[in-house]
Chain A
Amino acid sequence: MLNEETVIRNRAEGGKTSATQLRIALRNCGVIDPEDIEDAIGQGAYAALAKVLADGDPEGTIRTIMDSGLRGRGGGGFPTGLKWQLSARPQADQKYVVCNADEGDPGAFMDRSILEGDPHTVLEAMAICGYCIGATKGLIYIRAEYPLAIERLHIAIRQARDYGFLGEDLFGSGFAFDIEMRYGAGAFVCGEETALIHSMEGLRGEPTLKPPFPSESGYLGKPTNVNNVETFASVPPIILKGAAWFASIGTEKSKGTKVFALAGKINKVGLIEVPMGTTLREVIYEIGGGLQHGKAFKAVQTGGPSGGCLTTAHLDTPIDYDNLIAAGSMMGSGGMIVMDEDDCMVSVAKFFLDFTVEESCGKCTPCRIGNKRLYELLEKITRGQGTREDLDHLYNLSLVIKDTSLCGLGQSSPNPVLSTLHNFRDEYLAHVDEHKCPAGVCRELIRYEIVPENCVGCTACARNCPVNAISGERKQIHFIDQAICIKCGACLEKCKFDAVIIN
């Protein structure tokens, strides 16, 4: 369900309805100067903090967050209000609020954009969270590869301290809260909350078993509330506009909006924010402007290396946490990679497994070795050496890795394999049975050939072939020697007469 007001307003304005974006977390991105705190205040920054402190009712504020239905935007979708309540419960001399700005999902840049465009919203929400759970210290864990976000956060923190939004006695309430930054070296696994906490403690960035959950025992053994950047960015509007307002947007179990980084073979690559429940079709064709070069849509990967692909069958599925899981994928942090008819799904699975193998911390065997074996099986299949037994093996090993890995990385890393196996079994079978790559991607399985009827003998291909695999006189039909060809594709690109084809 779209936000009604939005739809009504749009109808009135131009008749175009549906799929309008609604920006809650991104409300100030592209609007304010992120280095000028007063510009942020001009849009309402810190008013929610003032309200929460004036109300003086942390439990009531937690209830508001609960009633809003906000769920964690870092991937898991855990109810944020419940997390705050769990973090508020334990008694401790010190508690921490951590902002997870690790954003390791390849192709994702939602959190970076929020931090670069509107850092104050995150600082404000962290202070609100601190007040609610009884923490006086906040930490932002951010990857060092985000220098601009880091710089703007530094400036924002300094300005917030100057204005009295961080530090002692905020808004005369007696509540003190300050924020420091911690830097990550850019390991995907360090986005997992226990690994993140260990990394901040100066230990190896390796996950540990939960429980204990960070809300009981986190940073330095103290109760720690970890939330994602976008989760925090949704908090101030909820405080100011009310739980009922937020809960009126979205689907039954997924409230509010979600930011997605639209990437891949789509015309309008970009950062979007849509109400939960918007369909893939709306995102891809209306907001994203359809596929590049008018190609046919094949699949979209959500949830990055932990997610799965959705196909044409899912185009009209409303996007929310539960529907994506039911479809064999997951929301993840919001990466959305669109693929067209030229993408080979076996290669796509291989790409993500390659990433996982690199990023596995190696602590547990199924993840460290199992993913490597999955990768090797996929490699074998893309070379045309796979068998039907290999497909069964892929499937079974995937299930074992999911069941026996320690952290979310291993528990979800086989998802790209399982979902492509499920949705594109024919394509796997073509690789295995016929040694063909229908999308024409897997090098070992394709041949570049020249169609004699189309060749005019212009020599463009021959001149551009790096290994002189093409023979033929000027104005004569040309020919590719398969024994020499290294399948670089240069001839295909250069031929203006569609004479070079992939077979």
Chain B
Amino acid sequence: MERIRTAEQLHRIRASREQMSLERREQGIVEVRVALATCGLASGAKSTYEYLVEELPKRHIEARVLRTGCMGYCYAEPTIEVTLPGAEPMVFGGVDPARADQIIERYIRQGEMVDGHIPRNYEKVTLE
């Protein structure tokens, strides 16, 4: 990696990341975030993550599955956040592989609501 020496170079990386996520949305790629902090891991989020990484391609769903830190819903671990192209992110709690299966089949495929949906209760700052 070449060291970044200017704010412009930094900005280019940022812009290219934004571009990539835009393209993913246009190509209909689903984004799935799995909260894999200590709390999530302790309640089995690793198997949820592995299940998603394995099953989504098997079921021919193009998705980007990310490991993230804590989403803050300790009472509902393992938690995942699913962003369908063009839709608001949806958080689901208590996602064991069985529920992950439901989420894939019903929410991701058909856009139907499934059990375990957690309404997002926060705003976050964005850095310009």
Interface residues of A (CB under 8 A from B): 3, 5-6, 9-10, 20-24, 26-35, 38-39, 41-44, 46-48, 50-51, 54, 109, 112-114, 116-118, 146, 148-149, 162-165, 167, 169, 171-172, 236-237, 240-241, 267-273, 287
Contacts and interface: CB of A to CB of B under 8 A. Distances in A.
Nearest to B127: A44
A118 B69 contact: yes
Interface stretch (B10-18, B51-59, B101-109): B10-18
Interface string B1-14: 10111110011011
B14 A33 contact: no
Given A20-B121, A236-B127, A171 B5 contact: yes
Given A20-B122, A35-B67, A270 B10 contact: no
B123 A46 contact: no
Interface string B114-128: 000000011111111
Contacts of B6: 50, 171-172
Main secondary structure of the interface of B (DSSP, over half): mixed
Sorted nearest first, the 8 A-B pairs with minimum C-beta distance are: A117-B69, A164-B3, A44-B127, A42-B17, A21-B122, A30-B71, A23-B124, A271-B72
B47 interface: no
Interface residues of B, number: 39
Contacts of B14: 41-42, 44, 47
Given A27-B125, A44-B127, A38 B17 contact: yes
Given A20-B121, A165-B4, A171-B5, A29 B69 contact: yes
B52 to A, nearest CB: 14
Contacts of A28: 69
B37 A117 contact: yes
Given A47-B127, A236-B127, A38 B13 contact: yes
B69 A43 contact: no
A53 to B, nearest CB: 9
Interface of B: 1, 3-7, 10-11, 13-14, 17-18, 21, 33, 35, 37-39, 41, 66-76, 81, 121-128
Contacts of B7: 47, 50-51, 54, 171
B70 A117 contact: yes
Contacts of A50: 6-7, 10
B13 A41 contact: yes
Nearest to A287: B121
A30 B18 CA distance: 18
A164 B7 CA distance: 12
Contacts of A118: 69
A20 B119 CA distance: 12
Contacts of A109: 38-39
Contact of A30 (B35, B76, B127): B35
